[in-house]
Amino acid sequence: MKDLQILYAPRQRGHLKKPKWIIILISLVSLFLVCTYVYPPQSFSACYIFSSQGCKALQSWLPPAPTRELTDDEIASQVVIRDILNMASNMSANPKISFLFLTPGALPFEKLWDKFFQVIWGRISMVDAERRLLANALKDPDNQLFILLSDSCIPLRDFDYVYNYLMYTNTSFVDCFEDPGPHGSGRYSEHMLPEVEKKYFRKGAQWFTIRRKHALIIMADSLYHTKFRDYCRPGMDGRNCYSNEHYLPTFFHMIDPSGISNWSVTHVDWSEMKWNPKSYQAKDVTYELIRNITSIVDSVHVTSDAKREIQIQPCMWNGRQRPCYLFARKFLPETLEKLLELFPKYTSI
């Protein structure tokens, strides 16, 4: 018995003398993991201290976050969305691109677009709303891509380049980024709950280029469209929310985030930091201007909060970086003659 007590005693004494810092470290790690679970990991930058892979690696350690029960409307909507996304792509024998011009009147650059379309076919009829444009364009089963343009847009490349760029990738080009500032998440209304949570709320330009399956989903959606119609509008809860900047970016970020590019192929210059982008006058239009725009290979977003965070994303096309833009705006009608003169030059860049 004495021998057994002698052998046991050192182990007991050693246990009592373990450094206190080990206990403190374990406590801190435990507290960190609890905080990571309670607060979304994407906003908890300290996790990079513990893993070179950042928060994503730590998320795999944690139990899954509780999921809420979907409403009947959400279930019905997701069934339709899932079936459309899983549909086999039935490429027609004569696949076409549908150009949709959203304009309050005549098209100022009609002659320039005529020159662009002379490669294969002429211009389409214009109507006054995106969904009506899509509905009419979807009537033609050969239309596989749908491009929404404004009356101040111009083509930056020839038709063949645009056709090949868009047709030979499975991506829809929908602008989408997270803006925590007053012109982004600050426009969100909790009236959108439970279907649209604030963490999914996104912002982007309305000028899209989408594949047929995504066009069908837009036409099929009533649930999320209704939420944005009713609760994303000027004066809502003392804020000005604009559905054309938030509905499609949020919608596609929720239902098919990997199916969109997160940038628009239509260039616009916000460098003047005004409510509206830069408008190009005749004196601004030069070969160098167009060359500079067509040379851009990174998509840049700037948040509207005090940090003015610059988000830079390479424009990836089928796994390789390529120029971002096929179209540009806002060009004033007075620029038409110079653009017609320069078109053969800059489309051969």
Mean pLDDT, residues 313-337 taken together? 96
Q: Look at residues 82, 80, 125, 87 and name the one whose alpha carbon lies nearest to residue 103.
A: 125
173, 292: one domain: yes
Q: Look at residues 193, 195, 250, 211 and name the one whose alpha carbon lies nearest to residue 76.
A: 195
Domain-located, residue 10 = no
31, 107: one domain: no
How confident is the model over 156-180, as pLDDT tens digits?
999 999 999 999 999 999 999 999 9
Domain-located, residue 213 = yes
Tell me which H or E stretch contains 302: strand 298-302
pLDDT recorded at residue 257: 96
340 token code pair: 């017609």
21, 76: one domain: no
Identify whether 41 is preceded by a cis peptide bond (ω within 30 of 0). Answer: no
58, 80: one domain: no
40, 85: one domain: no
205, 78: one domain: yes
In DSSP terms, which residues pair with 96 in a beta bridge? 143
Mean pLDDT, residues 85-100 taken together? 80
Eight-class DSSP state of 203:
B
Are 111 and 336 in contact by the 8 Å Cβ rule? The answer is yes
- Show which of 65, 94, 122 is a domain's final residue: 65
11 token code pair: 């182990």
Domain-located, residue 6 = no
60, 81: one domain: no
pTM beyond 0.75: the answer is: no
Domain-located, residue 1 = no
Domain-located, residue 26 = yes
How confident is the model over 59-90, as pLDDT tens digits?
566 667 678 888 888 888 888 888 888 887 77
- The percentage of residues in the chain with a pLDDT greater than 90, rounded to a whole number, is 52
164, 179: one domain: yes
How confident is the model over 198-238, as pLDDT tens digits?
999 999 998 999 999 999 999 999 999 999 999 998 888 88
110-117 helix and 336-346 helix, angle to the nearest 10 degrees = 20
129, 26: one domain: no
Number of structural domains the chain divides into:
2
Domain-located, residue 209 = yes
Question: Among all chains, which residue has been given the structure tokens 């109507």?
Answer: 127
Q: Distances in Å between the alpha carbon of 236 and those of 75, 182, 232?
A: 27, 14, 7
Are 261 and 211 in contact by the 8 Å Cβ rule? The answer is no
103, 163: one domain: yes
Query: Which residues contact residue 59 at a Cβ distance below 8 angstroms, ignoring those fewer than 6 apart?
Result: 36, 41
- Show which of 33, 48, 65 is a domain's final residue: 65
82 token code pair: 């899932």
Domain-located, residue 53 = yes
Higher pLDDT, 294 or 113: 294
83, 42: one domain: no
pLDDT recorded at residue 103: 80
Backbone phi, psi, residue 268, to 5°: -145, 145
Q: Look at residues 314, 99, 136, 337 and name the one whose alpha carbon lies nearest to residue 210.
A: 99
Q: 90 is in which domain, residue-wise?
A: 72-346
Grade residue 338 by pLDDT with cuts at 50, 70 and 90: very high
Burial of 238 (0-12, 13-18, 19+ CB in 10 A): exposed
135, 24: one domain: no
Tell me which H or E stretch contains 15: helix 2-16
- Show which of 46, 65, 84 is a domain's final residue: 65
Domain-located, residue 106 = yes
